[in-house]
Amino acid sequence: MLSVDRIYKSYEGQPLLNGVSFEVRESETVCLLGSSGSGKSTLLRIIAGLEEPESGQVAWKGKPLGNTPAHQRRFGLMFQDYALFPHRNVAENIAFGLRMQNLPKDEINTRVNGALQTITMTGFAQRKVTELSGGEQQRVALARALAPNPRLLMLDEPLGALDRTLREQLSQELRRILHESKVPAIYVTHDQEEAFAIADRLLLLHAGVILQSGRPHEFYHHPKNVWVARFFGLGNLVEGTVSAHSPLQVETPLGLIQASCNQDPPAIGEKTTLLFRPNQAVQDPNATENKITGKVLDQVFQGENYRLTLAINDHIPEFNLTLPKPAEIGAHLQVSYPPAQVLCLDNGAEV
């Protein structure tokens, strides 16, 4: 439905969005994930028509929107700071978009009441928005954005300003409301847990481009490169040089490691980075490959498992493991990784 095509936008001379392209399909919630300053909000404003891209285009059902001003796009946008009109009460805020469509008064009233029910704030119609709590303001902002039945809803860090417990509660409510309204949505956040919870599909924005897109679990199992693995905190990253193909062998400070690769492995002699996930280490005394030995530095009890930190050598002062059994601090410990569990990652896009 919405297609964003090679959007370019610079900020103070630096490219901020460097050819961003993606699509949003019918009744799909897409999560745009990126660290702060990555240009997520700018991208939303460009889609909304509040800012103009320097090149590239935004299209709805194939029709370019370049000449459609913001107020004629019928996209909803929920702002990070909610941007509720301080001079209007709750009902008037929700009614604003309906009034802009010049709907009859009765219909506006009915729909405002309906919206208040959806956000379970029926008694709040006449309240001043300045007197609402953060969570209440958030829900009014959502109701205001949804009331005019937008073709697309965009949410800019909608839970960003709230505290942890409220966030978990409201993110469930948001998911329910988005699901019920069936409106295609772009949800912007920097919080991966929130993104995993809300998204049908995830887009990772980094250095001005969509670095990877896919369903949440794909990011976990097949991070596209080192940066993605680091962003999601997937595990220990060890640099090395490819020394042989089939089987793939990489020379690292841990020794010669056999690894596997999702895409074509780098050429022999090229640099690469290996991902060792903490929970995939095995304690098998008969293992012959990928043996790792180190001194236990620290150990934290985590309920079902123990989180250990090993010191391996000068190059790798800290290596994290999750093991079912405790170890003795200061003792030497040997673990091994099956070659299929050591992922060889692309170094290239590291910025």
Partner 1 sequence: MNRTLRRWSKHPTWRALLLWVLPVAFLAYFFYQPLLALFNLVISPTWGFDLGSLNLDRIWRPLSFTIGQAALSTLLTLILGLPGAWLFARFTFPGKKALKILTTLPFILPTVVVAAGFNALLGPRGWVNLGLMALFNLSAPPIQFLNTFGAILVAHVFYNTTIIIRVVSNAWAQQNIRLRHAAQVLGASPWRTFREVTLPLLKPSILAGTFLVFLFNFTSFGVVLMLGGPQFATLEVEIYIQALHRLNLPLASILAILQLLCTLLITLGHNRVSGLGDVVTSPPAHTLDARKPRTGWERLVVILLIITLFTLLVAPLASLALRSFVKLEPTRGERGEIQRGLTLQFYRELGVNRRGDLFFVPPIAAARNSFIFALITIGITLSLGLLVAYALGQHTAINKFLDPLLMLPLGASAITLGLGFIIVFNRPPFSTLRFPILIPIAHSLVALPFIVRTLVPALQDISRSLRNAARVLGASPFKVWREVDLPLLTPALLVSTIFALTISLGEFGASSFLVRPEYPTMPVAIFRYISQPGALNYGQALAMSTILMLASALGIFIIERLQSPGKDIF
The residues of the shown chain that bind partner 1, judged by CB under 8 A, are 45, 48-50, 69-77, 79-87, 96-97, 100-101, 129-130, 137, 144-145, 148
Q: How far is the CB of 212 from partner 1 (least distance, A)?
A: 29
Length of the chain: 351
Q: Report the residue number, 167 or 224, with the smaller CB distance to partner 1.
A: 167
Q: Judge whether 241 and 250 are in contact, CB under 8 Å.
A: yes
Q: Report the residue number, 120 or 130, with the smaller CB distance to partner 1.
A: 130
Q: How far is the CB of 139 from partner 1 (least distance, A)?
A: 15
Taking the C-alpha atoms of residue 316 and residue 240, their distance in angstroms, rounded to an integer, is: 12
Question: DSSP assignment of 183-221, as one string?
Answer: --EEEEES-HHHHHHH-SEEEEEETTEEEEEE-HHHHHH
State the DSSP code for 339. Answer: G
Among positive and negative, which fits the CA dihedral 129, 132, 138, 144? negative
Taking the C-alpha atoms of residue 256 and residue 289, their distance in angstroms, rounded to an integer, is: 9
Q: How far is the CB of 74 from partner 1 (least distance, A)?
A: 7
Q: Judge whether 316 and 288 are in contact, CB under 8 Å.
A: no
Q: Report the residue number, 108 or 209, with the smaller CB distance to partner 1.
A: 108
Q: Report the residue number, 69 or 104, with the smaller CB distance to partner 1.
A: 69
Phi, psi values for residue 51, rounded to 5°: -135, 155
Q: How far is the CB of 201 from partner 1 (least distance, A)?
A: 23
Q: How far is the CB of 71 from partner 1 (least distance, A)?
A: 5
Q: Report the residue number, 58 or 312, with the smaller CB distance to partner 1.
A: 58
